[in-house]
Amino acid sequence: MEHRAKLTAITLAVTVSALLLATPASGVHVGVARANSAKNTTERATDTDANAQPAAASTTTTSSVAALYPFLQTVESSPRVLHDGAYLGVSIGYDTYKARANYANPALAENTVYTPSGFLGNLLLGYGHYFKNIIYLGIETFLNGTRADSGHSASTNTPTSTFYGTMNIKGSYGFAIMPGIKMGDASLFYLRFGYINSRFKTNESSNVGGVMTNNLTTNWLNGYTNGLGLETAVYGNVSMRAEYNHTTYNSFHTGAGTIYNPSDNQAMLSVLYHFA
């Protein structure tokens, strides 16, 4: 009886000891599991953030390209077409005038050729129409501003005589008829036949035999122009053209009796906007 009681007490002590030993171990395992779980969660969050940055950048780039794509597609797909109808334009060019002077004064040994030259600016307004989509006919009016000028010293028959003359052209206006042929949808070859009125200013100073004279003359001269050019569409309603023109003017004479016969060679580059 006493032996049985001791055995029961020992069994109970062993059981309690086993439970006490098992409890800390279980707590450790639970803590480790929780720590591992937290670590895995943190790593996943970090990976997500790292992957999110390139994704955001990629999204931004894609959005920018997508925003530009309609414009790029329009530029690529829009055909260049040269429109008819009304148009407005500006030009820049270069004038090279030539004027032969026939002097009335017998003291001057030879006649002189003046060559005024300089850049010009041009404002133009016109209207053109295509017939059967190939034959072109246009009419144009224009206003030019230029600073072409030159001076010349003429020799005389006596060493005591001197002569000096200048010529400059201040501006002009006119109109032209322009027949042409369409070269594809985007280009036009044309001829120019027109009228121009230009302001010529001359100044002649001379000292012949001790007699000094000074003569200032201003003339608005009629001229007749013929030329040719090529126009091509650039984008939308905008086109560019290059042309060459030759103008022959009426002759005029100064108060000193000098007769001038001027002409002009002109090269010009224009930018046009078509309202059609």
List the domain boundaries for the chain: 1-77, 85-274
Residue 170 pLDDT exceeds 60: yes
Q: Which residues pair with 11 in a beta bridge?
A: none
CA–CA–CA angle 96, 102, 106 (5° rounding) = 145
Note the pLDDT of residue 1: 46
Alpha carbon distance 45, 102 (integer Å): 98
Give mean pLDDT, residues 104-132. 85
If pLDDT is split at 50, 70 and 90, which confidence band does 156 have? low
Residue 6 pLDDT exceeds 50: no
Residue at token pair 């001269």 = 221
- Sort 131 into a burial class: Cβ within 10 Å, 0-12 / 13-18 / 19+: exposed
Alpha carbon distance 259, 93 (integer Å): 28
Note the pLDDT of residue 35: 44
Note the pLDDT of residue 149: 85
The 8-class DSSP code of residue 14 comes to H
What CATH class does 85-274 carry? mainly beta
Mean pLDDT, the chain, integer: 78
Closest Cα partner for 266 from 235, 244, 240? 244
For residue 241, what are the CA distances in angstroms to 87, 122, 195, 229? 13, 13, 20, 7
Identity of the highest mean pLDDT range in 20-24, 52-56, 260-264? 260-264
Q: Determine what percent of the chain falls in helix, strand and coil, rounding each to the nearest 5.
A: 30, 55, 15
Give mean pLDDT, residues 67-86. 67
Note the pLDDT of residue 38: 47
